[in-house]
Structure 1
Amino acid sequence: MQTYMVGGAVRDALLGLPVNDRDWVVVGATPQEMALAGYLPVGRDFPVFLHPETREEYALARTERKTGRGYHGFAFHAEPGVTLEDDLARRDLTINAMAQDADGRLIDPFHGQRDLQARVLRHVTDAFREDPVRILRLARFAARFAQFTVAPETTELMRDMVDAGEVDALVAERVWQELARGLMERTPSRMFEVLRGCGALARLLPEVDRLWGVPQRADYHPEVDTGVHLMMVLDMSARLDASLPVRFACLTHDLGKGTTPESVLPRHIGHEERSARLLKQLAQRLRVPTDCNELADVVAREHGNIHRSGEFGAAAVVRLLERCDAFRKPQRLGDILLACECDARGRLGLEEQPYPQRARLLAALGAAMGVSTSEIARQAQERGLQGPRIGELIHDARVAAVARALAAA
């Protein structure tokens, strides 16, 4: 029995990055021998075990064979005769197909270290084409390692996979999982650039793919192209360390611009409502979590109004806060405003501009939240008022409170 550290831990150590998770491959062992040694079996599809003390994952060396389309169409084979090189050959990228033995010696049959030094993402073998999830994984690694390029032959292979319909067989949950992880990387725009470059984006997110080549008014958007703007917004969300719901809202806030009639371009009147409708379809298709979907819906509908809110009086500000559901979910308003700030600063030459709308609306919310709704309701009920009339009184009190706060600012 021989044990090797493999995959991302080896890659990150060579890059001088922190190693947070370590994976291990065991060669020359059977499941029975692993269990006798105290390892806890956890794998459903193939033999994976938890170390009795460290709880790190140890997998028996294995090979795999394609048996059908999509992500689940595989048969796995693990026995003592499977070699380390056999196991490494089934991995996705050369930089993930390296191992280290107990003495610290590097085992690198597919030249992953060379590709690390050259900053290249390259598939290991032609077996890459058998798993369409690997397209998403490669794109996610491009978002993590923005200085890496994709090998031309790997891009061509991914195009062949897309043309063969492999991407169409991906299940929604796995697409969302990889998309969410890519959005949280350092340079999320790279994920979408890679997916677009091989044709996968048009299959997975056609609402996003069609934004490239759509012009916008140059006085508002010096970068002009809507797709270029979207990538700048995503990277701004990473720069500002935004949460996943905020980054997803940034991704989907302008979907409606892809359906603006050519006769009215570069103006995009009404794109907010169109964005919300397209978002609903996308979220249902990918089974997007509720917190991401709900935040993105508000941002899609209201980002234009939030940008213009510096011109609003107290009554218009309160109506905007009501549409954002800010009185019921006050903590969420910060995320809505952060997404809008990313949108405003995700423009060519405007990356460092301030976004005063954020502070103004948060201050307005604070003032409005200071209104005692229970006291207003009590007094109204004593006067025999009910239902909608009480709501109107609360609204009016909030407008007055916001007016005082804005006047004092």
Structure 2
Amino acid sequence: MNVYLVGGAVRDALLGLPVKDKDFVVVGADFDEMKSLGFVQVGADFPVFLHPDTHFEYALARVERKNGTGYQGFATKTKGVSLSDDLLRRDLTINALAIEVGGLFDDTPKTGQVIDFYNGLEDLKHKILRHISPAFCEDPLRILRTVRFLARYADKGFKIADETICLMQQMAQNGELGHLSRERLWAESIKAMEAGTGHYYWRALKELAILPYFLKELDDCWQDNTIFEQTIANLTIAKKHNIAVQFAILTSGDLYDKYLNKNLVANIAQKLNTPKYPVQIAHLLIEFYDIFNQTPKAKDILNLIEKTKAHQGNLQSLEDVLSAICIINKELDKVRLYDFLKTAIAQYKNININDIDKSLTGKDIGIALTALRVQYIQKLINNTFGEYND
């Protein structure tokens, strides 16, 4: 039995980056042997196991044969498979590097020598993302994964090899991305955004001419280069914000056309199976993005409080919408506006049924409460924004 540290851990260590997760390949073992040593199999038929102590992944060396569509359409073989066979099935040359370690319970490198069958070290040196073999095209997820690597290492000057770009474009044009589940499309995309590289990721998809086959509605919107460049610039500012804020910025489009923007959000959310919360923030941005472009109206502030449910004690939606608004309108003072909104919320909550005509009934109670709240919020606006303008 021989055990090798492979993939991202080797790649990132050579790039001088922190190594978070370790993946291993085991040559010369079988399912029963791994289980007998306490390793927990991942899936009933998949040759990947979790280490009983570290929970790192240890995979039996395997080769895969395409027997269906999408990223799940493969038959796997493990018997008699060598390390070079296993590494050949991987996506990029820089991800096919390996270092032999002591064993299943000793991940200390034996010599530290990097095993490189497919010129990965040379590509790493020249900062090139290159597919290993034509088998790259068997898994459409590799299109987005390669773009995500490009985004991740963009600051280091990495580029995709021309022949790999051509292959990715051909796969996209053949409709391969359509074989991926919506969950996988969303999961791969948010990895780039969670890493703070979403602006690189989306720009690359557009400039590599892959976006039309991935999210046509977004590509159509970005045919207006001004909207495209402004969205990417805003995504750059939003890179440290949560996914909800970034999704709202991504789908902001031409904010002067709220009807088209609502359709844009709905279409993208449907194709990516976007969770409800980011979609909610995107719609709230469309509705309220311009309320602070001039002295706000009390009714708009009241609607913002109620639609974010900030008056019920949860301020996260309000914070996220305000973050997105301030990213789009960079002249706004977010801290000042947030303090103003918290005061408005406090005034909203302080007004109750005891403050209105007690003879009112039914809908008239709500109308009177709303009118009184608008009145108090208007006074707050006059005081706050009068000073602000001074």
- Scaled by the length of structure 2, the TM-score of the pair is 0.88
Task: Report the equivalent of 1:219.
Answer: none
Deviation at 1:363, TM superposition (A): 2.6
Listed as ranges, the gaps of 5+ residues in structure 2 are: 102-109
The one-letter code of the counterpart of 1:377 is: I
Q: Which residue in the other structure is 1:75 paired with?
A: 75
2:352 counterpart SS class: helix
The question of whether the paired residues in 1 share the 8 Å contact of 2:305 and 2:345 is answered with: no
**Which of 343, 349, 360 is the aligned partner of 2:328?**
343
Distance 1:122 1:355 in 2: 44
- 1:245–1:291 contact (8 Å) kept in structure 2: yes
Structure 1 segment 163-202 matched on structure 2, within 5 A: 163-202=173-212
The aligned runs of 1:222-301 (5 Å cut-off) are 225-238=226-239, 241-254=240-253, 257=254, 269=256, 271-301=257-287
The residue type paired with residue 120 of structure 1 is: I
CA distance in 1, matches of 2:124, 2:200: 18
Q: Give the Cα–Cα distance (whole angstroms) in 1 for the partners of residues 34 and 306 of structure 2.
A: 60
1:251 CA drift (Å): 0.5
Identify the match of residue 134 of structure 2 among 119, 126, 145.
126
**How many Å apart are 1:343 and its aligned residue?**
2.1
Equivalent runs, 1:29-44 vs 2, <5 Å: 29-44=29-44
* Distance in 2, Cα, partners of 1:212 & 1:379: 51
Q: Which residue does the alignment assign to 1:330? A: 315
Distance 1:53 1:324 in 2: 44
Q: Which residue number corresponds to residue 350 of structure 1?
A: none
Segment drifting more, 177-186 vs 120-129:
177-186
Change beyond 3 A, Cα 1:394–1:373: farther
Deviation at 1:373, TM superposition (A): 4.2
Residue in structure 1 matched with residue 162 of structure 2 by the alignment: 152
CA 1:45–1:305: 2 relative to 1, 3 Å: farther
Whether 1:318 aligns to 2:302 is yes
Alpha-carbon distance in 1 for matches of 2:64, 2:295? 62
Alpha-carbon distance, 1:323 to partner:
4.8
Number of positions where the alignment pairs a residue of Structure 1 with one of Structure 2 = 372
SS of 1:311's equivalent in the other structure is coil
Shift of 1:63: 0.5
Residues 238-263 of structure 1: per-residue CA shift (max 9 Å, x gap): 1xx10011111110011xx4xxxxxx
State the Cα deviation string for residues 169-218 of structure 1 (Å, max 9, x = none).
22111111111112223332221233234433112211211133416xxx
Deviation at 1:379, TM superposition (A): 4.8
Shift of residue 90 of structure 1?
A: 0.8
Q: Which runs of 5+ in 1 are unaligned?
A: 216-224, 258-267, 346-353
- Other structure's SS at 1:3 match: strand
| 1:302 equivalent in alignment to 2:288 | yes
> Does the Cα contact within 8 Å between 2:38 and 2:52 map onto a contact in 1?
yes
Q: Percent identity?
A: 38
The residue type equivalent to 2:359 in the other structure is: G
CA distance in 2, matches of 1:13, 1:387: 68
| Structure 1 residue 46, shift from structure 2 partner | 1.8
Superposition map of 1:19-58 within 5 A: 19-58=19-58
State the distance in 2 between where 1:72 and 1:150 align.
25
Paired residue type of 2:185: V
Deviation at 1:371, TM superposition (A): 2.9
What one-letter code is carried by the residue in structure 1 that aligns with 2:352? Answer: I
SS at 2:168 equivalent: helix
| 2:351–2:373 contact (8 Å) kept in structure 1 | no
Note the C-alpha offset of 1:375: 6.0
Cα 1:45–1:279, aligned 2, differ >3 Å: closer, same or farther? farther
Once the two structures are TM-superposed, the CA of residue 73 in structure 1 deviates from its matched residue by 1.2
Conserved? CA contact 1:98–1:108, under 8 Å: yes
Separation (CA, whole Å) in 1 of partners of 2:177 and 2:251: 21
Letter aligned with residue 285 of structure 1? K
Query: CA 1:331–1:397 in structure 2 vs 1: closer, same or farther (change >3 Å)?
Result: farther
Q: CA deviation at 1:133?
A: 0.3
SS of 1:327 mapped into structure 2: helix
Match in the other structure for 1:349: none
Instruction: Work out whether 1:362 is the aligned partner of 2:338.
Output: yes
Answer yes or no: is the 8 Å Cα contact 1:46–1:78 preserved in 2.
Answer: no
Match of 1:101, SS?
strand
Task: Kindly indicate whether the alpha-carbon contact (under 8 Å) linking 2:311 and 2:349 is maintained by their aligned counterparts in 1.
Answer: no
Corresponding residue for residue 106 of structure 2: none
| 2:137 is the counterpart of 1:115 | no
Separation in 1, partners of 2:325, 2:76: 47
- Looking at structure 2, the residues matched to 204 and 153 of structure 1 have their Cα atoms a distance apart, in angstroms, of 20
Q: 1:18 maps to what in 2?
A: 18
Equivalence for 2:64: 64
Whether the 8 Å CA contact 2:218–2:268 is kept in 1: the answer is no
Change in CA separation of 1:148 and 1:387 when aligned onto 2, cut-off 3 Å? farther
CA contact (8 A) 1:40 1:51 kept: yes
